Copies of this chain bind each other. A is one copy, B any other.
Amino acid sequence: MKHRKTLVKSKRHTKPGSSPGQIAFADSTPRPSIRVIAYGPEGRTDRQVADVLSIIELRKAYPVIWVDIVQFGDAELIAAVGEAFGLHRLALEDAVNTHQRPKVEEYHDHLFVVALMLEDHEALETEQIAFFLGDGFVITFQERPGDCFDRVRDRILTAKGRIRNSGADYLCYALLDAIIDGYFPALEKQGETLEALENRVVSSPEPHNIAELHDMKRNLQLLRRAIWPHREMVNNLIRDEHPLIAAETRPFLRDCYDHTIQLMDIVETYREIAAGLVDVHISSVSFKLNEVMKVLTIVATLFMPLGFIAGVYGMNFDRQTSPWNMPELGWYWGYPFALLLMLGSAVALLWYIWKKGWLR
């Protein structure tokens, strides 16, 4: 419960009615760190840079360059990078304004892609990754340090697979694929939690089950909301036949698209199971109530008549005044008779209750 993700994201930077295309940050935003990996079939380099000039040099030296910008606390530097690669102002604003949905936008000579990377915290949280894919370059904008790209970097640096022989479009695919595949472990974890919860809900009704189910449903909805637009985004990349994306890369993107469909499939299955468990829970609670009430009713049905009989023979009518006043009290077998009467009532009632099927 403590880790429930808040619904309201941190406030948006821009106010309604303010001018678009502006890049501005609170002073507390940390300064950007820029890591450049440039490579080609013949070689590669991996450098931490601080100015735009070194980026431009590297771009000239290698067929493909990947500029990875983490944190955005230097509006001028970012604007300079944007200018160096001819990026559209509005797209640049979107890249550093971390409230976008996954999407792809086509500009004159570059594509702008936004994806959401799942972070491996206790609560499910996503981090926006913006991509610019142009002729021979990929520029990524990450909100926070830490990502799921280490295997891709490794493949570039150690020349594993076909990545060193492919263009920037293949790099873009590889990064997108890493982001999308990152949802599988999180979904598997949710699946395990759901299964444990399922077993608990089916076996016994606990009051906290419903709260956990609610949290599970919220998490699944957040995952669904994060995954769903990726599907359309990857589909747009495939369908629109951008010249920046080579025909050879398209089957790989199609594979990536299949993964988004699989993810949606799993999320929807889990959501439906979780929805069904709410019914199971409510039904179990009702059933438990029935059980409790049966016990109460059996007890009351048994002892109220017995207590009544005892009450009758506890009355103080004056046997001296009249032979009609409680002659039973003076009978020789009075007390055993009363006990037998009680026993008989109890047996009859138990038989009635048993016939009703309440003792099962």
Contact = CB atoms under 8 A, between A and B. Distances in A.
Contact of A307 (B269, B311, B317): B311
Interface stretch (A27-35, A49-57, A64-72, A176-184): A176-184
A326 B330 CA distance: 11
What does DSSP make chain A's interface, helix, strand, loop or mixed?
A: helix
Given A94-B255, A178-B17, A305-B303, A280 B311 contact: no
Contact of A16 (B6, B185, B300, B342): B185
Contacts of A311: 306-307, 310-311, 314
Interface in A82-122: 88, 90, 94, 99-101, 103, 105, 107
Choose among A99, A163, A287, A305 the residue with the greatest number of B CB atoms under 10 Å from its CB.
A287
A12 B222 CA distance: 23
Given A211-B280, A292-B293, A329-B317, A151 B335 contact: no
Interface residues of A, number: 128
Interface stretch (A131-139, A187-195, A236-244): A187-195
Interface of A: 1, 6-8, 11-12, 14-22, 88, 90, 94, 99-101, 103, 105, 107, 148-152, 155, 160-163, 174, 177-178, 181-182, 184-185, 188, 191-192, 194-195, 202, 205, 207, 210-211, 214, 217-218, 221-222, 225, 251-252, 254-255, 258, 261-262, 265, 269-270, 272-273, 276-290, 292-297, 299-301, 303-308, 310-319, 321-322, 324-326, 328-336, 338-339, 342, 356, 358
